[in-house]
Structure 1
């Protein structure tokens, strides 16, 4: 099969999955589920690759460059929310950011015990499965240390998926209204955006992607566009407003790309990974809530803002939740970038000091 045929098949497959994901998003919205377009598309694409096991989807991989542009759009949206209010929080930020180091160490330590003692994973797989951030870095370093790549992939993506499923659902029950549907639509607006505005949005996303990759920002696909659009917004030169339909489209693309990650996993692997990840995520969310409650009392920053800032999901997904709750997305994104930096830094230190490939018994 030649390259052009393979490319055409990938385009058609991606288009079908995104169409199904869009349908799943509308179904989830009609059911008043939290984060409907992201969760609906995620569930639909995961079901599709599961039902097509052994078929044409077995070797399919979602085009990451295509996904990166839509992640960049969310970065642009977050950047437009940056206001002088973030400067007023500066005196409290050293405390909230500094305690992230303690949160990362406690989260990772607890996760290691969960995957090692409850899951029976080898040391390398348990260690890199338990990192509370740095998904791609964990996969690369873990595979190099001899971790089981299939299990590691499942646990890391389930961490993100379960957090974006559990956190908004719990917040919806607590607040008494869906998070990410009506709230997100109201926040992002339904006003029409002229073609010129859409062009500026696309250019800001592209420029931010280039800058983030050029200077190697952590989570550069979102932080590059975020910083670039924030600079434009604060300068007053450009007034960027992303319409709701564009943000919903970005959520469908991100959700679909997460769902196809379940491709190639057996039922047994998935069952064990899901319940272990559930225990791990509940541990980290509980720990994050404790930190958020304590810091809210000391700093005066709202508990919900801090809870989302400490939740161990992806930068993109947690920022979308922040947008849905009208929380401060810049504050949330900043904390998640620092969490990733700390996690990756600790992983690099551990790689040099710990002999993760030397395998004692799980009880040792």
Structure 2
């Protein structure tokens, strides 16, 4: 019961945290606000939490599935009809994964002093949950690995929309009020959404898809949309609730982390993500010269994280969010495959201090 009450209390506080983030003009405020608030509770007030408390995994998975459905519904026949024009951009994503992983590894290994195994999995530019699971199995320092992977997402979804806002002279993404959800979805559609989400999660597990709790529902919604059988529409309020739940769940991942370790990890994450974004920017500039595609759209397509927020930014730029999303899904799938293959060769292990 204490664990249930703690979860209820955290979610009750997520609303004010989200409103504060929105008032500050932050991107994806309903996720970042609760994330920061929950992270503060986890790092500053860990003794106030019940012993052994963990945010309910099933609750998180359910709302991840909703976001997957929302993204998958953006895949249309018209989008696939232009797939032949993606060869160069997908090739750039392939090159990006290798270069970004190498740059991140060098930073965590040389500047951060992490052991080789931890640095290898911490620097993966995608496959957040898969990287953590495989890294733990390989003997990585899970505390540092988890911290760096989550900070990668946080830095990207915060820095890139803010940078684009400054460049374009106006807010982008969710800070500009963009959403992939609809406000006029009737309540009678909720059972359909629930069944589609459950079916997608099962599909993801059966097919062993990377990030299956999201890619499974996304694949199912995309298939239903392409076949013309059903267009899964997510109401705006449900998307907001999903972001609050996910933000709170992410923030609670920092339970027990010391402020010194967290600040040091944040500094390394800024350097690693900065290097990855620089690589993505250079590739985007090259692609623009060849294809004529807008540089800003290519940059968000090559960013190392934040699938949902990058799709929202795409809406701000009047670009198809599914185009951007599919490039991110390809990045995630490719990254998971690459680290899976390279891991078989066994990156050298070392001992890093496990301070908190």
Do both share a fold (TM > 0.5)? yes
CA contact (8 A) 1:28 1:37 kept: yes
1:244-303 per-position Cα deviation (integer Å, ceiling 9, x unaligned): 211111111111111111111112211211101110011111111221222233233333
Q: Offset of 1:183 from its aligned partner?
A: 3.7
* Equivalent of 1:156 in 134, 142, 149: 149
Distance in 2 between residues matched to 1:186 and 1:146, nearest whole Å: 40
Larger mean CA deviation between 154-163 and 293-302 belongs to 293-302
With over 3 angstroms needed to count, the CA separation of the structure-2 counterparts of 1:322 and 1:219, relative to structure 1, is farther
Matches within 5 A, 1:44-59: 44-56=37-49, 59=52
Partner of 1:4: none
Distance in 1 between residues matched to 2:317 and 2:253, nearest whole Å: 28
* Equivalent of 1:125 in 118, 121, 128: 118
Partner of 2:252: 260
Matches within 5 A, 1:275-314: 275-314=267-306
Distance in 1 between residues matched to 2:38 and 2:350, nearest whole Å: 38
* Equivalent of 2:162 in 146, 169, 188: 169
Partner of 1:19: 12
SS of match in other structure, 1:150: helix
Larger mean CA deviation between 136-145 and 36-45 belongs to 136-145
Matches within 5 A, 1:1-364: 8-56=1-49, 59-181=52-174, 183-185=176-178, 188-191=181-184, 193-322=185-314, 327-357=319-349
Q: Offset of 1:32 from its aligned partner?
A: 2.3
CA contact (8 A) 1:218 1:337 kept: no
Distance in 2 between residues matched to 1:324 and 1:69, nearest whole Å: 27
Distance in 2 between residues matched to 1:338 and 1:80, nearest whole Å: 17
Q: Offset of 1:355 from its aligned partner?
A: 4.3
Query: What is the RMSD computed on CA atoms of the aligned residues?
Result: 2.3
With over 3 angstroms needed to count, the CA separation of the structure-2 counterparts of 1:75 and 1:273, relative to structure 1, is same
Larger mean CA deviation between 294-303 and 102-111 belongs to 294-303
Distance in 2 between residues matched to 1:69 and 1:243, nearest whole Å: 15
CA contact (8 A) 2:173 2:313 kept: yes
Distance in 2 between residues matched to 1:357 and 1:98, nearest whole Å: 32
Q: How many residues align?
A: 352
CA contact (8 A) 1:25 1:39 kept: yes
Stretches of structure 2 lacking an aligned partner (at least 5 in a row): none
With over 3 angstroms needed to count, the CA separation of the structure-2 counterparts of 1:246 and 1:167, relative to structure 1, is same
Larger mean CA deviation between 226-235 and 128-137 belongs to 226-235
Distance in 2 between residues matched to 1:52 and 1:207, nearest whole Å: 38
TM-score, normalization by structure 1: 0.88
With over 3 angstroms needed to count, the CA separation of the structure-2 counterparts of 1:301 and 1:148, relative to structure 1, is same
Distance in 1 between residues matched to 2:290 and 2:5, nearest whole Å: 53
With over 3 angstroms needed to count, the CA separation of the structure-2 counterparts of 1:298 and 1:337, relative to structure 1, is same
CA contact (8 A) 1:304 1:327 kept: no
Larger mean CA deviation between 105-114 and 79-88 belongs to 79-88
SS of match in other structure, 1:238: coil
Larger mean CA deviation between 86-95 and 275-284 belongs to 86-95
TM-score, normalization by structure 2: 0.90
SS of match in other structure, 1:188: coil
CA contact (8 A) 1:49 1:58 kept: no
SS of match in other structure, 1:353: coil
Stretches of structure 1 lacking an aligned partner (at least 5 in a row): 1-7
Q: Offset of 1:114 from its aligned partner?
A: 0.7
